[in-house]
Amino acid sequence: MVDRIRQQVLDKGEAQLAERKTHRPTPIDNSALPAGSPMTFYCVACGAVADIKPEEYLFPVRKLCSECEGLANLKLLRHVDEAQR
Ligand SMILES: [Zn+2]
């Protein structure tokens, strides 16, 4: 039962991951923005927006978007080095 649900999540998660990779947003060049602009960071796994921070952020930038984070937490995200998180 759990294996079947896990497989369904894996199948759907992989399909959605492929979709996100195909439709990556055009990255914003943070260095080209006016001073004080919020900074946008992109998911290392799929390229979607992972985090938006104020220019002088204090806490670490999220490396994964929430969807990839969920897959990683379920050990379903392959090819992402744990050290990048
Ligand atoms: Zn992602």
What are the sequence ranges of the domains in the chain? 2-84
pLDDT at 81: 52
Of 70, 53, 54, residue with least CA distance to 62? 53
Averages of pLDDT over each 10 residues, the chain, 85 residues: 84 92 94 95 96 96 95 74 49
Neighbours of ion ligand 1 (CB under 5 A): 43, 45-46, 48, 65, 68
At residue 56, φ and ψ (nearest 5 deg) are -105, 60
Q: What's the pTM value of the predicted model, to 2 decimals?
A: 0.80
Q: How many CB atoms lie within 10 A of CB 64?
A: 23
AA letter at 14: E
| CA 44 – ligand 1 centroid, Å | 7
Q: What is the separation of C-alpha 74 from the centre of its chain, rounded to a whole number of angstroms?
A: 14
Alpha helices, H only, 31-77: 66-73
At residue 4, φ and ψ (nearest 5 deg) are -65, -45
